[in-house]
Structure 1
Amino acid sequence: MNKPVKAQILEAEERLRIAMLRSDVKALNELLAPELIFTNHLGQVLSKQDDLVAHQSGMLRISDLTPSEQYIHCSGSFVIVSVRMHLSGSYAGKASDGDFRFTRIWTLSSSGTWHIVAAHSSMVA
């Protein structure tokens, strides 16, 4: 029996969180769609390749990523997730420790797995 969509997304979100913490490029490659558009907390628009390189090169290092206030909206062929995360780490050598809000759009890939086609992050004041 197939799991409900919300349960599948919760599992995908946790796989993503762990992959981000470990800079697991193989797992991230599976979770991010080829056409990914990601707007980071600095307003930079990144592709899937940009995101993978940031993890692989060590430009992005995450030591803590703790979720709270998670909202999931299922709508046909896509799912929108908004989650607040406490994030500690560094980006381009600059330390970061604070709360961020991530919004992600998940869709089913041609292989039947969920992947992210769009994402946005911002700092929470």
Structure 2
Amino acid sequence: MNNSIETEIINCEARLRQAMLCSDVKVLDELLAPELIFTNHLGQLFSKQDDLSAHRAGIIKIESITSLEETIRILGDVAIVLAKVYMLGSIADVRWDANFRFTRIWASQNSGGWQIVVAHSTIVA
């Protein structure tokens, strides 16, 4: 595995977690590709604009994210992240806390950075 790319993805994942915790729409806008498709744990599809709007409006409030596992696979200009995290927060004022598995596909951009093009989450024990 290319350690330089792996380090970049680890840094992107850390920025993503921090942006999610703070609902930092500016950083989320940088990290999410315009063509993002996110499938949540209920099977609902969200676009980049859906996600940004929910954070901007305060619909999504994440209080904590604890990383439990993380695996990164590099395939050319794509990085696949498999993560297990414990999250605590609320969506539309409905509180939740659970262990989630996330699959995120990061694509290298012409600008030299990385953006998430596909993401999927599910609740696990």
Between the aligned partners of 1:69 and 1:35, the Cα distance in structure 2 is 27
Q: Match of 1:123, as an amino acid?
A: I
TM-score, structure 1 normalization: 0.95
Between the aligned partners of 2:59 and 2:43, the Cα distance in structure 1 is 17
Between the aligned partners of 2:15 and 2:107, the Cα distance in structure 1 is 15
Cα drift, residue 93 of structure 1? 1.9
1:104 aligns with 2:104: yes
Cα drift, residue 109 of structure 1? 1.4
- Aligned ranges 1:1-125 → 2 under 5 Å: 4-125=4-125
Between the aligned partners of 1:92 and 1:119, the Cα distance in structure 2 is 21
% of aligned pairs identical?
53
Runs of 4+ in 1 over 2 A off after TM superposition: none
5+ residue gaps, structure 1: none
Cα drift, residue 37 of structure 1? 0.3
Q: Match of 2:59, as an amino acid?
A: M
Between the aligned partners of 1:122 and 1:70, the Cα distance in structure 2 is 15
5+ residue gaps, structure 2: none
Q: Match of 1:13, as an amino acid?
A: E
